[in-house]
Homo-oligomer: A and B are copies of this chain.
Amino acid sequence: MSRIEKPADSEPARNPSRAGKPTLKTIAEMTGLAITTVSRALGNAPQISENTRRRVHEVAAEIGYLPDRAAQRLKTGRTNVISVLLDPHEEILGFGTSIMHGLARALQTTPYHLIVTPNFLDGSNVDAVNYIIRNGMADGLIFSRTEPFDPRVRLLLENGFPFVTHGRTEFSTPHAFVDYDNYAFAYEATKRLIVKGRRKVTIILPPKRLTFHQHMLHGFMTAVREAGIAYEIPDTLDLDSPADMIRDYVRRRSGEPDPPDGFACPGEVSALATITGMSDQGLTLGAEYDIVAKQTSLLLSQIQPKVETIYEDLKAAGEAMGQLLLQRIAGEPVEDLTILQSPQFGFPTP
């Protein structure tokens, strides 16, 4: 029954911004326990009796206690933060936002917060990665648009920093990733064009430096060879090209001899641009030509149902990445932490 010595009760007003915010000390005083015990009880440590554990939890819930993240972070060195590297190319069509919603859902029941680190520089955002590793700004990293030997991945691997990419690499050291099976997409899309009776197919590929350029090319070429059909691949264009450039290219090409009449479009914008370019030439979708597009939002199918689409569920990808990252942070072996999303041929479930 030791009484507290401090005369106290002067109440030095503390930091006004968080006045009255309950802390472990508050609970300790209310229950008559020591701060240590309260901390342990809340952490469900084994050496606390079931009785006090329950009592502490009750009081904590009652006064709405929430641990101070700053103090936890300072003490433990863990930030409880997941950082997303946002690429300028993801601005269009909610790519970034879909992934983030998925991520946020995965982190919803965890103590993790999502912070976004945008990339302002031109090149890859390896500087941002370096900054985050060096200064312990996060416990894990998420990013997309990987290159075969992505310098960000190299850096993270070297430092043993947890991360999950959207897209694969070709490093011999494995790492966690979620990727869409773009081989299957391109193969399937091309085959569908062929089945529709198209004479000559084409595809707008992602920039050459990105890993999935190869995957798509491979899927496309496999379908082409199997069918022995004519094809062409524009080499002045890629998926990052501005829509008007794609539109103009399509328009010009379709006025020249022997134009393609089957388009595999791995992006909604490129599909829309193609439609416009073709209709500028008086050609109509479904009649003179066909498009099979990758769809990442509801936009395309709702606006232009005559475009056939194959869905990529980015929100699901985000959620998966979040889960993998949590496992990765928990130290699970990397081998099991890879997911290849299959193209979904049905309609997405919203």
- Chain B residue numbers with a CB within 8 Å of A272 are 272, 299, 303-304
Q: Do B93 and A118 have beta carbons less than 8 Å apart?
A: no
User: Quick check: is A134 within 8 A (CB to CB) of the other chain?
Assistant: yes
Copies of the polypeptide in the assembly: 2
Contact flags (1/0) for A99-140 with B, using CB distance below 8 Å? 011001100100001111010100000000000001111000
A17-B136, A64-B134, A273-B302 are known contacts. Are A86 and B100 too (CB-CB below 8 A)? Answer: yes
Q: Measured between C-beta atoms, what is the minimum distance from A239 to chain B in Å?
A: 14
User: Quick check: is A61 within 8 A (CB to CB) of the other chain?
Assistant: no
Q: Measured between C-beta atoms, what is the minimum distance from A113 to chain B in Å?
A: 6
Looking at chain A's contact residues, is the secondary structure mostly helix, strand, loop, or mixed? helix
User: Quick check: is A235 within 8 A (CB to CB) of the other chain?
Assistant: no
A94-B97, A115-B114, A120-B108 are known contacts. Are A135 and B66 too (CB-CB below 8 A)? Answer: yes
| Interface residue ranges, A against B (CB under 8 Å) | 15, 17-18, 21, 64, 66, 68-71, 73-74, 76-79, 86, 88, 90-98, 100-101, 104-105, 108, 113-116, 118, 120, 134-137, 242-244, 247, 269, 272-273, 276, 297-299, 301-305
11 contacts between A and B (CB under 8 A): A15-B77, A17-B77, A17-B136, A71-B74, A88-B101, A91-B97, A91-B101, A97-B97, A243-B298, A272-B304, A273-B302
